Amino acid sequence: MKKGILIFAHYYAPDTAATGQILKDQAEGMLGEFNVTVICVVPSYIGIIEDRYKTQKYYFEELNGVRIIRVRVPEFRKSNKLSRIRNIVAYFFGALGASRKAGKQDYVFTISQPPILGGLLGVLGKWQKKAKMIYCIQDFNPEQVIAVGYSKNKLILKLMMVLDKFSCRHSDLVITVGRDLVDTLKNRFNDKNVPKYAMINNWIDEKDVYPLPNDSEGVVAFKKKYNLDGKFVIMYSGNIGLYYDLENIIKVIGKFKVGTKSADGREMAFAFVGAGSVLENLKKYANKHNLDNVVFIPYQDKEDLIYSLNSGDIHWCVNAKGIKGVSCPSKAYGIMGVGKPIIGVLEKGSEIRYLIEEIGCGKCCEPEKYDGIEQIIRFYLEEADTDEYEKMGLNGRKYLETYLTKDVSIRKYIESIKEL
């Protein structure tokens, strides 16, 4: 008989959160070995909730063989701290209630979202189900909060650290998504009595996200819709939030005036695809400084992601200074998936910078080195009439197909869990 695994997912498909998409792949990929139950919020990643999810406390669904219990939460605005906190707390207590309805479970799997509470959910679920706990740390907190100055309250930050170390200690296995995150875990415990851990890279489904020719119908339609046709497009796709220094990067973008052309004669355009807490600030800056070569595009449905990603000639993969060892930008896997080169604004020693430099699929510089960012953009503009940057993109796709496929990573998860 298959053993049961309960996954606290916070966000889950159809929500567009990167972790939600990864956990959908993981949950469905584990069905051959486990009976999988997922507890998550009702679809609400952008803060808005459909009317059909506003009447009941819990919603019981099944998606591709995965049993799902969705928790009703209040709507929120990403720019409003109080509304976000209210939303997260509602999920935490709702998920605890939902776990009582999940039946017998042998394993409890949780992620580091929402910060701190994700780990605590795992511990409480472990005790409730008398199960083994796997804690997947996608982002370390309070380290991430400290890095971007989201809070400077020393008492709160100390409490956050105590609580998350508590969650790590009570885990039967901690999984991180980067070599630099493994170092952070070890440093938390001063290399003494470090919880059992494994490192498994995130992924993109290489069968769903792959290179398309520029004249393919979906790419042409996307570019035409957002006035990108015939342009040299440098694209940022994903969460437009606090951890990426985008409010300073757009100032670098401002140095490339409307009408600037690449070596092959195309006008350049900068596209931001997604939403997040700093989106309005970017829009205001672009409007104030007449950055008419900057386009803002809403989140794309998963089935349209292949067209939006293929519409970029070059893609940003960025983190703010201090994020090394704290967070790993999964958007890099999607960029590799479509065979596009990367502008990596990432600290030396971080997992994704390791990969970009090892593979040769982009150019990197340190965060806050704005002259370096400008130089990388100019490099790509000058190489637009050669096959140099196309080779970079194909290097990324080839490596992904060999070492970072969905099946490879999910098999590592299954093997790690079954060894407990």
3-state secondary structure 110-143: EECCCCCHHHHHHHHHHHHHCCEEEEEECECCCH
393 and 413 belong to one structural domain: no
Give the count of domains, the chain: 2
At residue 116, the pLDDT reads 95
What is the rounded distance in angstroms from the CA atom of residue 293 to the CA atom of residue 275?
Answer: 19
170 and 222 belong to one structural domain: no
At residue 63, the pLDDT reads 96
97 and 234 belong to one structural domain: no
Chain segment 11-45, per-residue pLDDT in tens = 999 997 888 889 999 999 999 999 999 999 999 98
Tokens of 106: 């042998």
266 and 244 belong to one structural domain: yes
What is the rounded distance in angstroms from the CA atom of residue 7 to the CA atom of residue 320?
Answer: 30
76 and 123 belong to one structural domain: yes
At residue 271, the pLDDT reads 98
Q: Is 209 a member of any domain? A: no
Ordered DSSP codes for 182-240: HHHHHHHTTTSSPPPEEE------TTTS----TTSHHHHHHHHHTT-TTSEEEEEES--
Q: Is 28 a member of any domain? A: yes
Q: Is 152 a member of any domain? A: yes
CATH, residue 361: 3.40.50.2000
Indicate the length of the chain as a whole number: 420
63 and 140 belong to one structural domain: yes
* Contact in structure between 33 and 64 (CB atoms under 8 Å): no
At residue 131, the pLDDT reads 98
At residue 147, the pLDDT reads 83
Chain segment 65-76, per-residue pLDDT in tens = 999 999 999 988
Q: Is 212 a member of any domain? A: no
Q: Is 208 a member of any domain? A: no
CB hemisphere CA count around 127 (13 angstroms): 8
* 264 secondary structure, DSSP code: T
234 and 368 belong to one structural domain: yes
Count the Cβ atoms, other than its own, within 10 Å of residue 162.
Answer: 11
Chain segment 115-149, per-residue pLDDT in tens = 999 999 999 999 999 999 999 999 999 998 888 77
152 and 243 belong to one structural domain: no
Nearest 10 degrees: Cα torsion 14, 16, 21, 22:
-160
Q: Is 260 a member of any domain? A: yes
222 and 364 belong to one structural domain: yes
Instruction: Quote the crossing angle between the two packed helices 18-29 and 406-418, to the nearest 10°.
Output: 70
354 and 383 belong to one structural domain: yes
Domain range for 286: 217-403
Q: Is 313 a member of any domain? A: yes
342 and 409 belong to one structural domain: no
132 and 261 belong to one structural domain: no
Q: Is 211 a member of any domain? A: no
Q: Which regions of the chain are under pLDDT 50? A: none
Sequence-separated (6 or more) residues with CB below 8 Å from residue 397: 210, 211, 336, 337, 338, 339
